[in-house]
Amino acid sequence: MYLRDIGLYLEYKPNKEYIDEVMLTQNLTKEEAMRLDYLENCKDFHVLFGDQVRCIARLYTDILGKFKTEETKKINIYCVTDLDKINSVPKTALGFTDVYVYIDLESYWKLSNMEKKKVVLGKINEGIIQVANHYSWDISPFNRVSKEIMDRNYVNEYLLKPKSSPDRKHKAEIFCQHDIDFITISMIIRERKSNEMRKSELLFKDRPHELSFVQKLGDLKWISNREVTLTHRYNLRKKWTVKMDE
């Protein structure tokens, strides 16, 4: 198997006082009260954190490429505020490995986007080192990835496979700029022979989590020699169309 993904998450930390109160005032079971506690007091922060880490986590796995393992296909790095938990041994079940790292969450939310990217890369490295040491992996590929991310100044930009126009004179490509707060998806049209840019047009901005934006990146198709569309992967009536200037 191959290591296909690295996820960073905030661990749910129950608010005992809130749970006890809603169990009493709303006649809820403990499980129901904990679910309400998460929805009311934690979910928004967990979703925001989960969105913000994806630009670096995605860049990390893209640069790493096919890393073959016998143990895991995904590493789940739980960022916790309890120092005792970071001493726990990585645990793997059904190809998923859980590991814990410490984060000063109050400080994290105050950081600039660049500083957040540096923290995220640091937490990935902490988690990876724990897993690598546990399974006696060679850590040199991970050191290479970390260095390349820093060399790129933490910028995650990539192109999707280009499509040539029917007359073979131009090509269209989808340009993705994956950042902390959002991802920007643009259409770029170039001359095929010279690679000179003829047009660049913003299609949309979206949440920076793949669960939101990947479904929109469907078929890229020229409908004439001067007009090209990107179709939503699951909603075929949703399209973004770009026309070349005359």
Q: Which of 126, 151, 176 is the last residue of a domain?
A: 151
| pTM more than 0.85 | yes
- 174: pLDDT confidence band, cut at 50, 70 and 90? very high
Residues 126 and 180 in one domain: no
**pLDDT value at 5 more than 80:** yes
**pLDDT value at 80 more than 70:** yes
Q: What is the predicted pLDDT for the residue at 23? A: 95
**pLDDT value at 69 more than 90:** yes
Pairing of strands 96-102, 74-80: parallel
* DSSP secondary structure letters along 180-227: SS-EEEEEEEEETTT--EEEEEEEEEE-SSHHHHGGG---EEEEETTE
Residues 49 and 14 in one domain: yes
Type of residue found at 45: F
Q: Which of 151, 184, 206 is the last residue of a domain?
A: 151
Residue burial 66-90, b: 16+ Cβ < 10 Å; e: rest: eeebeebebbbbbbbeeeeebeeeb
Residues 22 and 117 in one domain: yes
Alpha helices in 69-215 (DSSP H): 105-108, 113-135, 140-151, 210-213
The residue-averaged pLDDT of 225-238 equals: 95
Residues 112 and 186 in one domain: no
Which domain covers residue 108, as residue numbers? 5-151
- 15: pLDDT confidence band, cut at 50, 70 and 90? very high
Mean pLDDT score of the chain: 95
**pLDDT value at 224 more than 80:** yes
Residues 110 and 26 in one domain: yes
Q: Which of 6-20, 74-88, 158-172 has the lowest mean pLDDT?
A: 74-88
- Burial (0-12, 13-18, 19+ Cβ within 10 Å), 153: exposed
The residue-averaged pLDDT of 141-168 equals: 96
Residues 40 and 131 in one domain: yes
pLDDT per position as a tens digit, 91-131: 999 999 999 999 999 999 999 999 999 999 999 999 999 99
Residues 48 and 119 in one domain: yes
- 246: pLDDT confidence band, cut at 50, 70 and 90? low
Residues 9 and 130 in one domain: yes
Q: What is the predicted pLDDT for the residue at 161? A: 87
**pLDDT value at 87 more than 80:** no
More confident of the two residues 82 and 53 = 53
Q: Which of 104, 131, 151 is the last residue of a domain?
A: 151
Residues 65 and 146 in one domain: yes
Residues 100 and 213 in one domain: no
Residues 23 and 128 in one domain: yes
Percent of the chain residues past pLDDT 90, beyond the cut: 93
Question: Measured on CA atoms in the order 29, 32, 34, 40, is the torsion positive or negative?
Answer: negative
The closest alpha carbon to 173, from 191, 186, 154, belongs to: 186
Pairing of strands 91-93, 5-10: unpaired
Q: What is the predicted pLDDT for the residue at 159? A: 96
What phi and psi, each to the nearest 5 degrees, are found at residue 184? -105, 125
Number of domains making up the chain: 2
Q: What is the predicted pLDDT for the residue at 88? A: 79
Residues 10 and 103 in one domain: yes
